[in-house]
Structure 1
């Protein structure tokens, strides 16, 4: 896969992340917020299971070889989805996404700096700090009522 195709798919993923909280919030009006998060994950799990089985790549059997913390991603995802379901009706989709993006980038910058989880270390520098500061100003402006 070329980098261009990858970037287009990542951009599509970003659009999906923007759409998902509002859809889930509407679902929660009928089912409840924990139930909506559960339904969202169940539908996603079924879709991924089908795609995984059809692709024939990788192996579910190797799950017994991974450290416990590598299984925690689903918990973080469940927490994120649940918080967006609760947040969108109260503060709006734009505010939820602004807070999400800014906090992701701040956490990512710290994780890059320390090379967390064995990833390549990328030091924090003035440009990165300025970028985060501008994002935080944007979050403030978006969230201010």
Structure 2
């Protein structure tokens, strides 16, 4: 295992932990504001300001040209995140945090398998194999075990 892989894996592990923290903090915002959509808006506003500060500090200024050639769907990433954050703020108190997170991971794995299989959005093709299907099935079993807990 090379250092780049290890660092990437540790960063993703950390980010996954941050996602677990995001749902309950957004539930607090949703309760205070009476709306999971408002909670998501506040969450994204804080995130946007944070990213703006980091980007400005980085000094990286690519200009507009590289973005002009992108397909329309390249701009939808924030929409997916916004939907997840609003849904999580609604669902966390109803499902419990561990069930919310494991169901979300199951959804991620299933869609990722399909995206890999077709090589969607510029990703390299990685065919669905019995081992990959078994891994996804184990994630789904994990959802059931966490829920029954």
| TM > 0.5 | yes
Unaligned runs of 5+ in 1: none
Tell which deviates more after alignment, 62-71 or 105-114. Answer: 62-71
Q: How does 1:40-59 map to 2 (within 5 A)?
A: 40-59=43-62
Q: Distance in 1 between matches of 2:133 and 2:8?
A: 27
What is the aligned-residue RMSD (CA, Å)? 1.6
Say whether 1:132 aligns with 2:136: yes
Q: Which runs of 4+ in 1 moved over 4 A?
A: none
Q: 1:84 aligns with which of 77, 85, 88?
A: 88
Per-residue deviation, 1:99: 0.5
Per-residue deviation, 1:75: 0.6
TM-score (norm 1): 0.92
Q: 1:97 aligns with which of 76, 94, 101?
A: 101
Unaligned runs of 5+ in 2: none
Q: 1:117 aligns with which of 116, 121, 131?
A: 121
TM-score (norm 2): 0.90
Q: How many residues align?
A: 145
3-state SS, counterpart of residue 99 of structure 1: helix
Check conservation: 2:36, 2:87, Cα contact below 8 A.
Answer: no
